[in-house]
Amino acid sequence: MPIPTASSILVDGLLPDILFVPSPNCDERPSGAAVSLIVIHAISLPPGEFGGDAIERLFTNRLDPAAHPYYSEIHDLRVSTHFLIRRSGTLVQFVPCDKRAWHAGLSSWRGRIRCNDFTIWIELEGCDSVAFEEAQYHVLTGLLDLLKRCYPLAEIAGHADIAPGRKTDPGPQFDWKRIVRYLPSNAKM
């Protein structure tokens, strides 16, 4: 599995040589909306369990509500992300970076609402109570290097930062110090 580097290129918002699983849950960004924020999330389906194809099924509207009790609560969601980094470090892309992924719901960042308009979303397979894997940080930093070169990124935040009180991810197990070079100088750690 290739790891993105600063010399990697995006072609039509896609990272070549990685698995692309197209999500229908996206659309065009509003005219003039520049990508300026990366948001890091954590996801596991079922909650607290890793592996399997449930994440891909969620982002492609194919989650079977009978496969797990939790899925019956979420199978009607129409959400997506740009990238998923599996526990193994495998990188999957669902939405081209130039398109708006449907992810944030009610959200705001530094007084701006509708975070989907100006954000690239990166999901890490994980949860609040389990440390992330070295392979995930390795792929994440390579991806951040690439995205920073391709877009006018100003900041990086967690899902909890754009939806406080509603979301908690990537959670206390995420090591923000591992990506400190990508954070704005006034970031809280």
DSSP labels, 137-185 = HHHHHHHHHHHHHHS---EEEEHHHHSTTT--TT-TTS-GGGGGGGS-T
pTM: 0.93
Tokens at residue 48, please? 């607290």
Per-residue pLDDT of the chain (189 residues; tens, 9 = 90+): 566 765 567 888 999 889 999 999 999 999 999 999 999 999 999 999 999 999 999 999 999 999 999 999 999 999 999 999 999 999 999 999 999 999 877 889 999 999 999 999 999 999 999 999 999 999 999 999 899 888 988 889 999 889 988 888 999 999 999 987 766 555 544
* Catalytic choice (28, 73, 123, 155): 123
d(CA 59, CA 34): 24
Asked if residue 9 is part of any domain, the answer here is: no
CATH of the domain at 80: 3.40.80.10
Asked if residue 13 is part of any domain, the answer here is: no
Give how many domains the chain has, as a whole number. 1
Active site residue 123: yes
Structural domain harbouring 136: 19-182
